[in-house]
Amino acid sequence: MATYEDLLIEADRKGLVAKEKPLRANNGRIKGDKIAINSKLNETEKKCVMAEELGHYYTGAGDILDQSSASNRKQELHGRIYAYNKLIGLMGIVRAHKNHCNNLSDTAEYLDVTEEFLADALNYYRAKYGKGVNIDNYMIYFEPYLGVLEMI
């Protein structure tokens, strides 16, 4: 699992400059080769925000602050999807299950993401895969609630 420090190193290797500073309007922002992360966040929150900002770097183009534009909203989602897959992914859900995580709180703690970030990721996976998805001999159910079954 990637740590906040791992993400900072990844950004540095890509030539990005990441700094923590007080931000009023949002928790993170990327502009050009500079990433700002809200210094008031805890380490787990910073990790989630940093993953999303890296997602914007890899998948986006230009200023997408104006979310009234459909194109900007789509690019915002692409950054988030990158972060969901980087920090959670379907196999992360399986690993959490194998480590006896039985609820959202336990799973978020195990994956070292916020509960809100995990809930948003699960909503995305539910929208993408529907009721469930089969991966590596496991069936992950998203409805009526999250469940993982090992297939024999």
Least confident of 41-50, 59-68, 75-84, 119-128: 59-68
90: left (phi over 0), alpha (psi -120 to 50) or beta: alpha
Task: Tell me the pLDDT band of 59, cut-offs 50, 70 and 90.
Answer: confident
152 vs 56, higher pLDDT: 56
pLDDT tops 70 at residue 37? yes
Q: What is the pLDDT averaged over residues 101-106?
A: 95
Q: How confident is the model at residue 64 (pLDDT cuts 50, 70, 90)?
A: low
Provide Rg for the chain, Cα atoms. 16
Judged on CB neighbours under 10 Å (0-12, 13-18, 19+), 71 is exposed
% of residues, the chain, pLDDT over 90? 77
| Cα separation, 146 vs 19, whole angstroms | 36
For residue 144 the two structure tokens come to: 């009526």
Query: What is the mean predicted confidence (pLDDT) over 90-118?
Result: 97
Given a cut of 70, whether residue 71 has pLDDT beyond it is no
